[in-house]
Amino acid sequence: MKSNYQILAVNPGSTTTKVSIFRNETEVFESTIDHPVEVTGSFMNVLEQLDLRMETVREIISDRGLALQDFHAIVGRGGIIRPVKSGTYAICAEMVSDLEKGAAGGHASSLAGIIAYRFGKEAAIPSFIVDPVIVDEMDDIARITGMPGLERKSLWHALNQKASARRAADEMNRCYGDINLIVAHLGGGITIGAHQRGRVIDVNNGLDGEGPLSPQRAGTLPAGELVRLCYSGEYTYTEMMSRIKGKAGLMAHLGTNDARDVLGMIASGDKHAELIYRAMAYQIAKSIGANYAVLKGDIDGIVITGGLAYDKTLIAWVIDYIGFMGKLFIYPGENEMTALAGGALRVLRNEQQALNYIDEAEKVKA
């Protein structure tokens, strides 16, 4: 008889904190707390939000009449750490140190591992991360740029892309490790990956703005113009980084990062808003096409997921460009909380071992 495990999953985003409670595979409770931009914007960096986010999680589980000790494990979305392969990792002190650096650099997902580790220590239960954003499976040829010493990096929505890819494989009655897919995660940031038999051999760096423009990211920019802007004397380093991520994309063009607001503008006849939104769809399709070339046209399907996949207008514009390429799987929203719990559950059930962070980071480095 299988044990009955209760798992707490934590997933901080740029403006939200998501908390879910699972009993085995079943999500029995979910809550998403919004953090207004005027609140998060008052902090110098994401790491300074740690106490706020931890208190948010405490209040949520307390309101359910639960304590940390009622859980068998705590799992968080992985953040900016050293490049590793995909999987479930036991959180250690060295990982926390790297996560703190990542959060200080501005990635909210890094807070999840720190929160899980601290709560795990407090309650004397194991803490994990699953498929962190830094998962690196890229082919060497995909890393090369025209500037020696400046390589492309793998930094993407690994958790949701992997979960969505496995969902599509299940729908086809195929094994994820045997098929080729293009997976597009469309959210505040956008990443699009070429999944070749279980490995993501190429993907855009969604944190620093590579790829399509998104609600909060600038996307790939003209390099010469960007350099000139950096040396214009008009902006500090911090200001320039915010123009690439955070205050970029739809936010910069239209003053909002909410697609619903943009659709309202378009409905009221705002042609500029429509042009910008169509440009985002165009760039998404263009990136999907690039990954089609990476996989040499040998694909079993295209998966579109993330919060923006709810927007039928945007998705219709994207499909107008790429519908001829293959079978489409549209999975609106994110499968991240279920993927987090599933990773922890497999370890608790001894179906797989938790990976050692230091060992795996050294393997990728080598």
The DSSP code for 353 is P
Q: Which of 90, 91, 101, 104 is nearest to 43 (CA)?
A: 104
Reply yes or no on whether the pLDDT at 36 is more than 90: no
- Number of helices (H) and strands (E), helices first, in the chain? 14, 11
Tell the CATH topology of 157-332. Answer: Nucleotidyltransferase; domain 5 (3.30.420)
Reply yes or no on whether the pLDDT at 334 is more than 90: no
pLDDT bracket for residue 244 (50, 70, 90): very high
The DSSP code for 350 is T
| Separation of alpha carbons 204 and 181, rounded Å | 15
The burial of 235, by beta-carbon neighbours within 10 Å (0-12 exposed, 13-18 middle, 19 or more buried), is given as: middle
Work out the average pLDDT over 3-13. 93
Q: Which of 136, 138, 100, 132 is nearest to 117 (CA)?
A: 100
- CA 188 centroid distance within chain: 9
Phi, psi of 72 (to 5 degrees): -90, -20
Give the pLDDT of residue 209: 75
Q: Are strands 127-130 and 73-77 parallel, antiparallel or unpaired?
A: parallel
Q: Which two tokens stand for residue 110?
A: 């890094």
- Asked if 41 contacts 28 with a C-beta cutoff of 8 angstroms, the reply is no
Q: Which of 10, 52, 7 is nearest to 31 (CA)?
A: 10
Give the pLDDT of residue 1: 46
Give the pLDDT of residue 2: 60
Work out the average pLDDT over 189-218. 95
CATH architecture assignment, domain 6-135+336-365:
2-Layer Sandwich (3.30)
Reply yes or no on whether the pLDDT at 285 is more than 80: yes
Q: Which two tokens stand for residue 194?
A: 């070429």
Sequence-ordered alpha helix ranges (H) in the chain: 37-40, 50-63, 93-104, 110-123, 140-143, 158-171, 223-230, 237-244, 250-254, 259-267, 271-294, 312-322, 336-348, 357-365
11, amino acid identity = N
Higher pLDDT, 289 or 79: 289
Query: Whole-prediction pTM value?
Result: 0.89
List, for residues 45-91, the tens digit of each pLDDT value. 889 999 999 999 999 999 999 999 999 999 999 889 999 999 999 99
366, amino acid identity = A
Work out the average pLDDT over 183-190. 95
Number of Cβ within 10 Å of residue 119's Cβ equals 21
| Separation of alpha carbons 315 and 331, rounded Å | 11
Reply yes or no on whether the pLDDT at 148 is more than 60: yes
Higher pLDDT, 35 or 350: 350
Q: Among 34-43, 87-96, 228-237, 250-259, where is mean pLDDT lowest?
A: 34-43
Work out the average pLDDT over 110-134. 96
What share of the chain has pLDDT > 90, as a percent?
86
Give the pLDDT of residue 175: 97
Reply yes or no on whether the pLDDT at 151 is more than 60: yes
Task: CATH 3.30.420.40 in the chain: give the residue spans.
Answer: 6-135+336-365, 157-332
53, amino acid identity = R
Averaged confidence pLDDT in the chain: 94
Give the pLDDT of residue 37: 73
